[in-house]
Amino acid sequence: MVDALYIHVPFCHARCLYCDFDSRACRDGAAYDAFARAMAACIERLGTAGALAWCRTAYIGGGTPSVLGEGLVEIVRAVRAAAPELVEFSCEANPESFSAELAARLAEVGATRVSLGVQSFDDRELRALGRLHSADTARQAIAAARAAGLAVSCDLMCGIPLQTETSWGASLEAAVATEVSHVSVYPLTIEEGTPFASKVSRGALVEPDEDFQAWCMEEARRRLMGAGMHPYEVASYARPGAECAHNIAYWTGKSYLGLGRSAASMLDRATYGSLREVLGLPAACDTAARIRFVQTTDALPGVGADAPAYDVEEMTAREAAAEDLMLGMRMARGVDEGLLARAREVIGAGALDAAVDEALHRGLAVWADADGSHRLAPTHDGWLLGNELYGLLWNLASC
């Protein structure tokens, strides 16, 4: 059963200076239309095969899906027809390509949520990142989405060129003032092959200051919590009831299907077997409990003459259990005793209990009661030192 669907749109109006996502700068309306038609046809085929019959969340990302305009509307309509059980439908957008008209059309055909790539409410910082929008454009896009009845998430980035403690605080306050229901906060990373990486290598740009970024993350936590948003995941804050269900599916071991070049999928063995033919996937070995795969070409399954190609990774039951523990600890609520009990059966009580005891001893985790259950949850230090906590649990995959 596919619980979540991700669709990757490979177009942007321009590439940002820090971005290493799989996207290409393009302003070709014919290319947009051809992509939208092909994706809608692929989704219709999957719907006919029943592949999305129980899908609960959908997310269209990129790239910049909003550059497709009416093509994005057509994809949303196709997904709604193929996945009748959806409870949340998110579309990413950039402010400069998002309008009141597009917001209304998306809401009309069944989108429920928009995630806007704002990054900063400071125009100098936006220019330094290579963004095409201004702070005012971002505010207008947020207002348009809210007026259309869409829930709104705002992405902010810290540790970027020209940013100061004052400007970071101002961006946080600006986001709160727009009354968005969700904010995601990310530290800038310098990715190989990007213009920022080239600037760093020749001394034209300094690496982000990790201490400053840590302060920014702490300040975001303080201000956003003070505004009534709770940190439900390591980088995300939401008002009550506005958590992103699609992201939660990723962190809680749900099966998800990705469509489009570079889109990632993760399916349990049974779901993989049922979808293998319709997606054109290779057979999995008998020891695989979970299969991850990434589409490596533009071709879509069942559309056109070319078949898609994939990079496939097979995971044992032990690896899958360790991954569930690691990803579950990205959530503020942590993992419940049911997951721990299942992992103990697969991994072994000795190894699992030793890892849990070490996390507790190092102050990275604590036993807590949440969601009506007794849970192992990350502490504040576990949130700040996430890589240490995640590594401790992922090491159980090979003990």
Rounded to an integer, the average pLDDT of 283-308 is 93
Assess contact for 176 and 118: CB atoms under 8 A: no
User: Please, what are the domains in the chain?
Assistant: 4-248 (3.20.20.70), 321-397 (1.10.10)
Q: How many CB atoms sit inside 10 A of residue 397's CB?
A: 17
DSSP of 308-352: P-EEEEEE-HHHHHHHHHHHHTTBTT-EEHHHHHHHHHHH-HHHH
Residue 227 pLDDT more than 90?
Answer: yes
Give CA angle at 392 (390, 397), nearest 5°.
95
Confidence tier at 399 by pLDDT (50, 70, 90):
low
**Terminal C-alpha separation, the chain:** 30
Confidence tier at 287 by pLDDT (50, 70, 90):
confident
Confidence tier at 374 by pLDDT (50, 70, 90):
confident
Average per-residue pLDDT for the chain:
95
Taking only the tens place, the pLDDT of each residue in 72-107 is: 999 999 999 999 999 999 999 999 999 999 999 999
Name the pTM for this structure: 0.96
Taking only the tens place, the pLDDT of each residue in 47-60 is: 999 999 999 999 99
Taking only the tens place, the pLDDT of each residue in 139-162 is: 999 999 999 999 999 999 999 999
